[in-house]
Amino acid sequence: MSSETLVEIKDLRYACGEHHVLKGLNLEHPRGKVVGLLGSSGCGKTTLLRLIGGQLQPAGGHVKVAGQVVHELNNSDLYHLRRKMGMMFQAGGLFSDLSVFDNVAYPMREHTDLSEPMIRDLVLMKLDAVGLRRARTDDRRTVRRHVAAGGLARAIALDPMLIMYDEPFAGLDPISLDVIANIIRRLNDALGLTSVVVTYDIAEALKIIDYAYFIDNGVVVAEGPVEEIRDSRHPFVHQFVHGEEDGPVRFHFPARELAQDFGLAAVTR
């Protein structure tokens, strides 16, 4: 594993019962870059994030983060590694009964011995980075109106080396979507972070990522820097980037002819 590589995934396999989600997936994530994990629904993108964070155990292969094999760590070492990771969950994942201020302060209060005045100053800095510095400590309305930005502020609360974004653009209006995307890129560069972005929004992803991995049927089917992805003639990539109906990814679930379900002979023309 190169010193320039923060996350290394080798021959990674994971199954949920009889369903094999990942079937020998390989990828590397260099330090300081924003990498996109792209693919159709159910291809294993979120599962991969959970394996990186140690929430799941692989059936084979390994995930290395900063040179450590995640699933081989004991609880103490795993929790220590997780403190160096930030996570922005789908739909924000904030505590709805806490203000935006207290949501961001929560990991600091749980995992550090910092004084409340220090925590206050740090929270205001994190909120300022995502445009929420004026959020009052008792204002829960701000959480509802700016849940994505609040989730992002909490993800950077402990100054992680790695941030994982699980569908950060879901449910956002066009203006908010563009703002959040730009914040992700700026934070990554300004703070020297390394970011993994899982999203269906290919157009927005290609504006901010450095490198893309396309996952299908449990493996990486294509990869490359953004400039190559935009002009790729790879059937899967081309269909996904341009949102085409015809291609290797089928919308309809595989099934036999409709006439057979009705007990009718196939109609020939």
The mean per-residue pLDDT over the stretch 67-76 comes to 96
Split at pLDDT 50, 70, 90, the class of 130 is confident
Question: What pLDDT score does 10 carry?
Answer: 97
Determine the Cα–Cα distance for residues 188 and 194; give it in Å rounded to an integer.
6
When divided into structural domains, the chain yields a total of 1
Q: Which two tokens stand for residue 178?
A: 């563009």
Please give the sequence-ordered ranges of beta strands (E in DSSP) within the chain, or none if there are none.
Answer: 5-16, 19-30, 34-38, 60-65, 68-69, 85-88, 162-166, 194-198, 211-216, 219-225
**Residue whose token pair is 């961001």:** 104
Q: Domain range spanning residue 53?
A: 1-84+201-249
| Bigger pLDDT: 254 vs 65 | 65
Determine the Cα–Cα distance for residues 127 and 131; give it in Å rounded to an integer.
6
Residue 54 within any structural domain of the chain:
yes
Residue 94 within any structural domain of the chain:
no
Q: What pTM, to 2 d.p., does this model score?
A: 0.81
CATH code of 45's domain: 3.40.50.300
Split at pLDDT 50, 70, 90, the class of 171 is confident
Residue 169 within any structural domain of the chain:
no
pLDDT tens readout for residues 220-269: 999 999 988 888 888 888 888 877 776 666 665 556 776 777 776 655 54
Mean pLDDT estimate for the chain: 85
Residue 70 within any structural domain of the chain:
yes
Question: What pLDDT score does 118 carry?
Answer: 94
Q: Are 221 and 236 in contact (CB under 8 A)?
A: yes
Residue 96 within any structural domain of the chain:
no
Weakest-pLDDT range from 14-18, 26-30, 31-35, 167-171: 167-171
Determine the Cα–Cα distance for residues 262 and 269; give it in Å rounded to an integer.
19
Residue 254 within any structural domain of the chain:
no
Does the pLDDT at position 152 exceed 60?
yes
Residue 69 within any structural domain of the chain:
yes
Residue 263 within any structural domain of the chain:
no
The mean per-residue pLDDT over the stretch 124-141 comes to 70
